[in-house]
Amino acid sequence: MARQACDGCGEQVTVAGGVANLWTLEKEATGGIDLELVDGTDQFLCYDCIERLPDDEEITADHVDRL
């Protein structure tokens, strides 16, 4: 499995799928996702950081920086 650092907290999380685990039987779930924000930036965030984002605003890179 591949690992990638969360842009919010910096924690290394598992990224499932792709060539990294194509021929293995690993079943570990993905720990985050890439998001395209309204300001045009792309951020990889773990699910814990996604939960800490506000629900009532359009999310920008500034929100991620404040995590």
Give CA–CA dist 9/25, Å, rounded. 29
Residue 32: its H or E element: strand 32-36
pLDDT tens profile 28-43: 678 999 999 999 999 9
User: What does pTM read for this prediction?
Assistant: 0.79
Q: What is the pLDDT of residue 51?
A: 96
To the nearest whole number, what is the mean pLDDT of the chain?
87
Confidence of residue 23 (pLDDT cuts 50, 70, 90): low
- Type of residue numbered 29: A
